[in-house]
């Protein structure tokens, strides 16, 4: 790690993860709780640390995260994006590796707003000819 503390923001759907990456021993804290405790589902844990595993920094950096909004899957994805951005800010040489893996791409899919005159965003009321 070139700098002492690197900050990045990751977003997905309605969740926002504020990520702080520092040199350390691989400890991850999410909202003041242990990573394994906050994400009990193994698949979400694996998804969140993919950038660290890819770059080989899983055991050499500490990650502190404040995450709000959304559900567990959305929060894990926002954490993944935030970690990738922080690693790239700290070491620009990792950018090509992270970009190729698709970790530096913001997933812009969000819930579409409800329109007036309709029961949902796209659904229409039942049509009656007579």
Domain membership of residue 91 (yes or no) is: yes
Alpha carbon distance 81, 12 (integer Å): 8
Number of domains in the chain: 1
Domain membership of residue 110 (yes or no) is: no
- Residues found in the chain: 130
Name the percent of the chain lying above pLDDT 90. Answer: 96
Domain membership of residue 83 (yes or no) is: yes
Q: What is the mean pLDDT of residues 70-74?
A: 96
Distances (CA, A) of 123 to 13, 28, 87, 109, 117: 21, 42, 42, 19, 10
Full-model pTM? 0.91
Q: What is the CATH number of the domain that holds 86?
A: 3.30.230.10
Domain membership of residue 30 (yes or no) is: yes
Residue range(s) defining the domain that contains residue 24: 6-101
**Contacts of range 121-124, beta carbons closer than 8 Å, 24 or more positions apart:** none
Percentage helix, strand, coil, to 5, in the chain? 35, 20, 40
Domain membership of residue 52 (yes or no) is: yes
Q: What is the pLDDT of residues 28-47, one digit of tens each?
A: 999 999 999 999 999 999 99
């Amino acid at each position: 790690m070139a700098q002492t503390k690197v900050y990045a923001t990751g977003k997905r759907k309605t969740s926002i993860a504020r990520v702080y990456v520092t040199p350390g021993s691989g400890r991850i804290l999410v909202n003041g709780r242990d990573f394994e405790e906050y994400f009990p589902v193994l698949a979400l844990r694996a998804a969140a640390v993919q950038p660290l595993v890819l770059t080989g920094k899983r055991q050499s950096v500490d990650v502190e995260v404040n995450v709000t909004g959304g559900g567990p899957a959305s929060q894990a994805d926002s954490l993944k994006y935030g970690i990738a951005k922080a690693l790239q800010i700290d070491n620009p040489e990792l950018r090509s590796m992270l970009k190729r893996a698709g970790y530096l791409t913001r997933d812009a899919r969000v819930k579409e707003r409800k329109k007036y005159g309709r029961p949902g965003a796209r659904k229409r009321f039942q049509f009656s000819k007579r």
